[in-house]
């Protein structure tokens, strides 16, 4: 009797999968619940277990894409394949006699944790209203490791921030979603085999290490599993891009499996010459081909989730908004004179420096009160006006551009604004900004001047309707009261969505910002 194995349902929006690899060959004998294949969807990679014991008959080949519910293979329960059931049982009995049991979870000594039989499924938590999926940045624990409640086991990355994932129970970890997999909110990310009795003792850890040593030695002796020399989906993809045969790579993962790290280091391993043959080949090449002094190389790096999302949104803004930019110039001498006069006293009193950002933020909040359309947003067929200003500040971080928000900036003093800018910039550089600190925002300021930009047209930070671009300060000759003087001048640019902001409003807003900056006393008096 043959049982048809069909592609299981793996998500509401997933209609087809690709056969990443078969871990068993056609005609092999497989045990019930043994992993026989790895399947890939557009969101994740998952394993396919055998539903019964028997001989495998493959219906879909590797790299073939088939629909959910289609027959992927058959298992003949009555047949005997290349590895018969009786032989497998005999081998397992011999192994049981020769190998001591080292599973600390089933130990009756009571010194280590005992499995309760409960399996706790951990799902991706909700991290923000607009976030529907996340990427597994890295696993801090390995598959099979013992974890304790609230211990951080993984780092998960969304399009806005990176956050830590704590364990929700004590027990042994079983990883479901691999590194670099993108999965939806609410999807299963891992499982924990719940235990009681505390963490494993030193003796149990020693026995587990000796067990792993014996398994590795057994592998050296020729006892291999389906994982030996087999590349994980992520590793296989990297090796395929590099054009390297997995057969030439020695895996360092469990049971000799080729991991992502093995694949990334494969090029270096391949480039190492072998003892004698390669020396001779190198000698011939050295004699026939002169060394090139202008060698060229390329390095490919996968785009981070943050970088991909930023790219997608910037293109979306350009395509979906009627974006236009207007320019003006600001004489920075009054602000620079004021800073020079009071910066020491300001820092001594408030313990923060007096920078340009507080002046620009105060000027923009005052101008936005007068021109509320610049602080508004389009939501469907409605325009949303805010009577507050949540000021977004563009910050360059190691992972890319992030835009933390200063809440109710219109109510803050100079020192409070400077303090928030310093705090948010530090958290951005350390990669510790929370979702709340980057959500919202009604208007954005970006300062390209710190990198030397003279003039630019910044792109709107959707769903906002406008963004102000600051640039570098350059001394230029200008006419002051009929005479030419050398003044520190900054060009400022306002990019805005012409669907909601008219030319009169955009230009008037920028002129108002210019007036306030060139006479900073008005900022203090609110006039």
Q: What would the mean pLDDT of 239-268 be, rounded to a whole number?
A: 73
**Is residue 390 pLDDT above 90, yes or no?**
yes
Residues of the chain with CATH 2.40.50.100: 2-98, 106-219
Percent of the chain topping pLDDT 70: 77
The separation between CA 282 and the C-alpha centre of its own chain, rounded to angstroms, equals 42
For 386, the 3-state DSSP assignment is coil
Instruction: Spot the catalytic one: 63, 103, 150, 498.
Output: 498
pTM: 0.51
Percent of the chain topping pLDDT 90: 30
Instruction: Spot the catalytic one: 33, 282, 337, 502.
Output: 502
Name the CATH topology of 227-273.
Dihydrolipoamide Transferase (4.10.320)
Residues in the chain: 527
Residue with tokens 């969304």: 158
pLDDT tens for 461-495 read 888 999 999 999 999 999 988 999 999 999 999 99
* β 405-406/483-497 pair status: unpaired
**Which carries the bigger pLDDT value, residue 524 or residue 31?**
31
pLDDT tens for 176-211 read 988 878 888 888 999 999 888 767 665 444 444 444
CA gap 22, 46 in Å, rounded = 12
Question: If you write DSSP's letter for every residue of 450-494 in order, what string do you get?
Answer: GGT-----PPP-TTBSEEEEE--EEEEEEEETTEEEEEEEEEEEE
Strand order in the sheet with 2-6: 2-6, 71-76, 54-58, 29-30
CA gap 221, 99 in Å, rounded = 14
Peptide bond into 463 cis (omega under 30): yes
- Give the model's pLDDT for residue 286: 46
| Phi, psi of 94, rounded to the nearest 5 degrees | -65, -40
pLDDT tens for 134-164 read 888 788 888 888 998 888 898 887 766 677 8
Confirm whether 502 is a catalytic residue.
Answer: yes
- Give strand ranges (E) for 265-415: 323-331, 377-379, 382-384, 391-393, 395-397, 400-402, 405-406
Q: What would the mean pLDDT of 377-390 be, rounded to a whole number?
A: 91
- Give the model's pLDDT for residue 267: 62
For 354, the 3-state DSSP assignment is coil
**Which carries the bigger pLDDT value, residue 221 or residue 361?**
361
The one-character DSSP state at 178 is P
Q: For the chain, give the mean pLDDT.
A: 79
Confirm whether 498 is a catalytic residue.
Answer: yes
Domain covering 2-98: architecture = Beta Barrel (2.40)
* Superfamily the domain 320-525 falls into: Chloramphenicol acetyltransferase-like domain (3.30.559.10)
What is the CATH number that goes with domain 106-219? Answer: 2.40.50.100
For 203, the 3-state DSSP assignment is helix
The one-character DSSP state at 416 is H
**Is residue 336 pLDDT above 70, yes or no?**
yes
Residues of the chain with CATH 4.10.320.10: 227-273
Give the DSSP H or E segment for 46: strand 45-49
Residue with tokens 């090139």: 292
């Amino acid at each position: 009797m043959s049982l048809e194995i069909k592609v299981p349902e793996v998500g509401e929006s997933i209609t087809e999968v690709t056969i990443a690899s078969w871990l068993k060959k056609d005609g092999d004998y497989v045990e019930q619940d043994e992993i026989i294949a790895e399947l890939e969807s557009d969101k994740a990679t998952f394993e396919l277990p055998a539903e019964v014991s028997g001989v495998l008959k493959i219906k879909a080949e590797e790299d073939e894409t088939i629909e959910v519910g289609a027959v992927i293979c058959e298992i003949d329960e009555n047949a005997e394949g290349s590895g018969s059931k009786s032989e497998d049982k005999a081998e397992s009995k011999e192994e049981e006699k020769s190998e001591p049991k080292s599973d600390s979870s089933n130990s009756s000594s009571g010194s280590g944790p005992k499995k309760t039989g409960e399996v706790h499924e951990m799902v991706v938590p909700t991290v923000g209203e607009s976030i529907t999926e996340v990427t597994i940045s890295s696993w801090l624990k390995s598959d099979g490791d013992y974890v304790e409640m609230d211990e951080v086991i993984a780092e998960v990355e969304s399009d806005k921030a990176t956050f830590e994932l704590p364990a929700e129970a004590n027990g042994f970890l079983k990883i479901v979603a691999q590194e670099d997999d993108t999965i939806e909110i609410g999807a299963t990310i891992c499982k924990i085999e719940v235990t009681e009795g505390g963490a494993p003792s030193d003796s149990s850890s020693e026995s587990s290490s000796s067990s792993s040593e014996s398994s590795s030695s057994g592998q050296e002796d020729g006892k291999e599993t389906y994982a030996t020399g087999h590349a994980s989906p992520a590793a296989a993809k990297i090796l395929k891009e590099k054009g390297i045969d997995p057969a030439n790579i020695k895996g360092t993962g469990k049971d000799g499996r080729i991991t992502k790290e093995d694949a990334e280091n494969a090029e270096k391993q391949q480039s190492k010459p072998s003892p004698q043959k390669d020396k001779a080949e190198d000698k011939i090449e050295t004699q026939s081909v002169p060394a090139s002094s202008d060698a060229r190389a390329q390095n490919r790096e996968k785009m981070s989730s943050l970088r991909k999302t930023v790219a997608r949104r910037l293109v979306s803004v350009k395509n979906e908004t009627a974006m236009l930019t207007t320019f003006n110039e600001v004489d920075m001498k009054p602000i620079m004179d004021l800073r020079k006069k009071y910066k020491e006293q300001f820092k001594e009193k408030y313990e923060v420096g007096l920078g340009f950002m507080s002046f620009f933020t105060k000027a923009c909040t005052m101008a936005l009160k007068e021109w509320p359309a610049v602080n508004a947003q389009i939501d469907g067929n409605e325009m949303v006006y805010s009577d507050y200003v949540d000021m977004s500040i563009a910050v360059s971080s190691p992972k890319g551009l992030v835009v933390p928000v200063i809440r109710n900036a219109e109510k803050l003093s100079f020192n409070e604004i400077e303090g928030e800018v310093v705090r948010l910039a530090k958290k951005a550089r350390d990669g510790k900004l929370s979702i709340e600190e980057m959500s919202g925002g009604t208007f954005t300021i970006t300062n390209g001047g710190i990198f030397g930009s003279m003039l630019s047209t910044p792109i709107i930070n959707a769903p906002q309707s406008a963004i102000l671009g600051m640039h570098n300060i350059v001394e230029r000759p200008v006419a002051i009261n009929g005479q030419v003087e050398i003044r520190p001048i900054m060009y400022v640019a306002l990019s805005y969505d012409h669907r909601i902001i008219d030319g009169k409003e955009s230009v008037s807003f920028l002129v108002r910002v210019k007036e306030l900056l060139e006479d900073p006393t008005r900022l203090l008096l609110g006039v």
